[in-house]
Structures are given as structure tokens and as C-alpha cells.
Amino acid sequence: MRTPIDPSIVADQNEIRAAELKRDYQYLGEKLARQNINIETIKNKIAEFSVAIPSWGVGTGGTRFARFPMGGEPRNVFEKIEDCGVIQQLSKTTNTVSPHFPWDNVDDFNELREYAAAFGLGFDAVNSNTFQDQKEQKHSYKFGSLTHSDAATRQQAVDHNIEVIEAGKKLGSKALTVWVGDGSNFAGQQSFTNAFNHYLDSNAKIYAALPDDWQMFLEHKIFEPAFYSTVIQDWGSSLLAAQTLGEKCKCLVDLGHHAPNVNIEMIVARLHHAKKLGGFHFNDSKYGDDDLDSGSINPFQLFLIFNELVEAGARDAQFNPAYMMDQSHNVTDPIESLMNSADVISRTYARALLVDHKLLNQYQEENDALMAYNTLRSAYETDVSAIVQQARLEQGGAIDTIATYRASEYRKKVTEARPSSGNASSGIV
């Protein structure tokens, strides 16, 4: 196994924190035992948990106003994989990468697959891109892709998605995520009904190319890049489309793609009821699709979402949604943000696992609103640091991922090894 960070640095850093972790883990175990919770059971579930890294996430993001790059940004998919390898080596909760095409196109996908495997990384859902024009592309997506008024443009977008599936097959992926920014900036610009029909027709062609053991995820978004209307603007449209397309087609929930104030955890429950909950893009937001680090704005909301996921899993043993971080790292080292977010997500999952669902259900039946809430609050307020740190430690990761990464001076090294090519971005600004 390749270890981009020298294992001795990891070991040294863990040594510094081992005694305190032992003490914290022991105390937490004792405290949870009072509630008849076995800390080892929770820790094992955390150890099994994994969330995918988006290949574009290891580059610095930006806004329409500017992008402020940092040194050592990956210049191709192999360097992205190397950075993902750092994240996985230290955090041990990110054993897959979700690639994006055409950004991650290579001549030899087998080589890429093996390269990633050497870092302990597999490939999660593949992502198509029909929201940007590529050089030498025949038809522009300025006015849409899968929903464009012109049939040839739609077909071009369909063809691209089918190529992405082909790439994914070689990489060992089992799912395609389709997100289109198609929509309009003016009332009247687009026929809502024609655009939706085009969406269904185009996706039916893509669906037809899907291997039997694959899933197709439809991602909705209320706005941006379209500012008056978006074809798949909410989970209602996403659900309608997924129902029309077939059993392998499901809905993907990105936490930042909703109208203000919307209760996202309830959408999770509804999509699960409809058997159409396919996966998640984790991030956080305060205003729009801010793509901030997971849990950094509203950590209680993330907990409530995980609470629904734990409930769904309890109801349905087959429940196995795809989890990915989809964040834009504009002011931090992306590797740090992704490790930190993996830590936050793991902690949140751990807290959700602490909820006494039998007791919660009893309070719900009795309409004891206060104690039902306090049941959640009690789990949420538990400090589960020791559990996720112990899970990392036992798997060879770092107790403190950020401190260990900084001690390794990885960023300094890649800044030297990867001279900037100027304007290159790893994808979405």
C-alpha cells in the first residue's frame, strides 16, 4: 500500500495523543455503558463507515468573482488520487473517489484504477458534465444540454453520459450521477413542460445504457447556474423523473440545493418512503449552494439527517445510499477541509447511533415532545471524539488528522513537486 505520508510521522503524532485518547475512550465507554450502549459496537460501525471524495474537491474552489489558488494543486487525475490517498491514509473514512468527466479522462482507465487501488482507493459514482463547453465540442450548452430545444445538442449530452458510464465500468464504479444546470434566466425563456419532457427522453436513453447492477442518481438544485428556473429544481421534480425512468433510477440529495428554511431531513424520510433515496452530497450552506465544509454552519441539521438515515437503515436492511462530500474549498487547504469534514461526518454518524430509538418512539407515541427532543439532544450533546479517534487509530490512521498532516509538510512538498501551470483549475472554480 502506498503511503504518501511517512508512516513514522503518523506513529509519532499518535504517540503524543495516545494516553489522553485512552483515558477519554475509557471514560466515554463507562458513560455509554450506563445507557446500555457498548462503545465497541459504535466504534466498529464508525470504522466501517466511508464517504467518497469528489476528485474535483482536492483543488481550490472559487466563486464567479475570483479563485485564489494555493501551491501544489493537483494538475491531473493522478495527482488528485495522490491527494485523496493522503486523506484516506490519515482519516480512514474515505475509501472511494468519485470522478468527474471529462476532467478526469485518461487514456488507460485500468492504469488509473490500479493507481488508485495502490492507495487503498476505489471508485464511487461517476459524474458527467454538460454544464460547461469543452474545446472542440460541436454544440454549446449555453442554453441547455439534456433539455436543450435542439435535438442534436441533447443527443451530444446523452452520448457524453454514455461515455461516462463506459469509463465508470472500467473503474469499477456502480453508479452514474446526473446533474444538469439546465434552466432559464428569464420568464418565458424556456417552456417548463417541453424542457421536462426533453429531460425525461434524454435520460431514458442514458438509462438504457446503464448496466444491470448500476444505479442512476438524479440531482436536483433550486438555482444556479440558472437564475429564474431550473429543470430539476427540487425533490418533487427529481422524484417524478426517477419514477418515470425506472427502478434503477434514484434521487440524490445535496444539502445545499434547497430553498431557504426547507426541512431536509424530512425530504430524506419521504424519498426513503418512496424507495427513491439514492445518495447524498454532503456540504453545508448558509445562503445558497455555498458548498461549505460539512456541518460547519448547521451541525444539528446534519445530525437530524443522520438520525433519519439510521432509522431508514433500521427499517430496511438493504438501505445503502451513496455518500459523497461535495464541497468547494476556497479559503482552506482542500486536503485539510476534506479530512476535517470526514471527521465531522463520522462524529455526526456516531451521535446518531447513540439515539435510543426505542425510547424515542415511546415518547413519540405519547406525544411527549419535550422528552422526545431531549432524547435526540442527549445523543447530540455527547462528545464522541474518542470514538472516531479510536476508530482511526485502530485502522492505522491519525488520531489528529490535521496536526499529523501539518507535521508531514505534505503541502510544502507538493508545492515544490507540482509547479503551477498558471490558470489551471481542477474543475469547478
CB nearer a copy of itself, residue 98 or residue 237: 237
What is the rounded CA–CA span in Å between residue 3 and residue 252? 33
CB nearer a copy of itself, residue 7 or residue 246: 246
Which of 76, 137, 155, 301 is close enough to bind a copy of itself by CB under 8 A? 301
CB nearer a copy of itself, residue 78 or residue 143: 143
What is the rounded CA–CA span in Å between residue 323 and residue 49? 10
C-alpha cell of 353? 447511533
- Output the CA–CA distances (angstroms, integers) from residue 231 to 142, 148, 219, 250, in the order listed: 14, 11, 11, 17
Q: Which of residues 43-82 bind a copy of itself (CB under 8 A)?
A: 62-66, 68
Phi, psi of 97 (to 5 degrees): -120, 140
How many residues bind a copy of itself, per CB under 8 A? 115
User: Which residue in 385, 324, 376 sits closest to 350, CA to CA?
Assistant: 385
- Output the CA–CA distances (angstroms, integers) from residue 59 to 113, 285, 363, in the order listed: 20, 19, 46
Q: How far is the CB of 212 from a copy of itself (least distance, A)?
A: 27
Using CB under 8 A as the binding rule, whether residue 287 contacts a copy of itself is answered as: yes
Q: Which of residues 368-427 bind a copy of itself (CB under 8 A)?
A: 369-377, 380-383, 385, 402, 423
Q: Are strands 277-282 and 249-254 parallel, antiparallel or unpaired?
A: parallel
Q: How far is the CB of 420 from a copy of itself (least distance, A)?
A: 13
Q: How far is the CB of 425 from a copy of itself (least distance, A)?
A: 10
3-class SS at 359? helix
Segment interacting with a copy of itself (CB under 8 A) among 51-59, 183-191, 206-214, 318-326: 183-191
Which of 33, 41, 110, 286 is close enough to bind a copy of itself by CB under 8 A? 286
Using CB under 8 A as the binding rule, whether residue 36 contacts a copy of itself is answered as: no
Segment interacting with a copy of itself (CB under 8 A) among 102-110, 115-123, 164-172, 325-333: 325-333
CB nearer a copy of itself, residue 249 or residue 267: 267
Segment interacting with a copy of itself (CB under 8 A) among 36-44, 88-96, 120-128, 137-145: 137-145
CB nearer a copy of itself, residue 119 or residue 405: 405
- Output the CA–CA distances (angstroms, integers) from residue 193 to 230, 245, 249, 264, in the order listed: 12, 17, 21, 26
Which of 1, 118, 152, 331 is close enough to bind a copy of itself by CB under 8 A? 331
What is the rounded CA–CA span in Å between residue 49 and residue 343? 11
C-alpha cell of 93? 473514512
Q: Which of residues 88-117 bind a copy of itself (CB under 8 A)?
A: none
Which of 163, 166, 201, 234 is close enough to bind a copy of itself by CB under 8 A? 234
Segment interacting with a copy of itself (CB under 8 A) among 37-45, 87-95, 162-170, 334-342: 334-342
User: Which residue in 103, 95, 104 sits closest to 123, CA to CA?
Assistant: 95
CB nearer a copy of itself, residue 6 or residue 366: 366
Segment interacting with a copy of itself (CB under 8 A) among 75-83, 87-95, 170-178, 182-190: 182-190
C-alpha cell of 209? 445504457
User: Which residue in 7, 15, 173, 97 sits closest to 338, CA to CA?
Assistant: 97
CB nearer a copy of itself, residue 213 or residue 358: 358
Looking at the DSSP bridge assignments, the partners of residue 127 are: 100, 177
Binding mask 256-275 for a copy of itself (x = CB under 8 A): --xxxxxx-xxx-xx-xxx-
Q: How far is the CB of 22 from a copy of itself (least distance, A)?
A: 13
Give DSSP secondary structure letters for 137-190: -SS--TT-STT-SSHHHHHHHHHHHHHHHHHHHHHT--EEEE----EESSTTSS
- Output the CA–CA distances (angstroms, integers) from residue 11 to 5, 16, 43, 60, 406, in the order listed: 11, 9, 21, 29, 14
